[in-house]
Amino acid sequence: MRLVVDKIWILVLFSICCSCKGITERKDAYAVNGIDISRYQQEVDWATISDSLVQFVFVKATEGEEHVDSLFHKNWDALGDLDIRRGAYHFYRPSISAQIQFRNFTDQVFLMPGDLPPVIDFEATGNLNVEQIKLSLKELIFLMQDHYETKPIIYTNLKLYKQYIADTFDEYPIWIARYNDKPPLLNNGQAWTFWQYGNRGRMQGIDGDVDLNVFAGNMQDLKSLCIQKTKTTE
């Protein structure tokens, strides 16, 4: 009986150690830290998050032709009451018209002074070739830029960056996904603006995993990146 109990405790301890090993550790060496969320984080206790060391949050707003994240407006409105810089992102589908995706996003996202620029989340390529994707992405970027009067942020990974973004969209802020302890090196020497370094972060106020990010600068730099004015405030 004692042998069976000991084996059970060994299995329990092993399970705990394995689960802890996979947790993404926060990079406190960076001055500005943030997270990104969607409906997958479910209900967020923003009162608790505001007391954490989180300076910015990106929130999924839309995807493709007509999808709207079910918790976007709730999260967006809650962040508007906190001293946290907020940003909204659209999951880009290259096979869908850029104009249709643009309308989906702008129908939901009204950016105010102090908000971060809009984000185009580029992870899917569909069945299009490189030139088709670049043309579609360029159209969506220009539509966003004209509407919000600021350069949108491009989110992607190193592989897609090298193939589709480098040397074509160098003037735009890059939010790069690389789950590693070492900062990402972009192949053309461009500096990244945001780095998503892990997707298994833990934080009070959020049940389960959350993506962790850092900003390549200080708080003043982050504020400078934010929208300074909108058409409605001119």
- Topology classification of domain 2-233: TIM Barrel (3.20.20)
Strand pairing partners for 34? Answer: 56, 213
Q: Residue 175: is its pLDDT beyond 80?
A: yes
Which one, of 56, 22, 83, 88, lies nearest residue 194 by Cα? 56
* pLDDT > 70: percent of the chain: 89
Q: What is d(CA 183, CA 90) in angstroms, rounded to the nearest whole number?
A: 25
Residue type, 51: D
Q: Which pTM was predicted?
A: 0.89
Q: What is d(CA 108, CA 146) in angstroms, rounded to the nearest whole number?
A: 17
Q: Residue 103: is its pLDDT beyond 50?
A: yes
- 17-31, 67-81, 90-104, 129-143: least confidently modelled range: 17-31
Continuous segment of H or E residues that includes residue 123? none
Q: What is the pLDDT of residues 17-36, one digit of tens each?
A: 434 458 999 999 999 999 99
The catalytic residue positions are 36, 123
Which one, of 54, 22, 44, lies nearest residue 206 by Cα? 44
Which one, of 216, 213, 182, lies nearest residue 198 by Cα? 213
Enumerate residues 6+ apart whose C-beta is below 8 A from 226.
85, 113, 114, 115, 116, 117
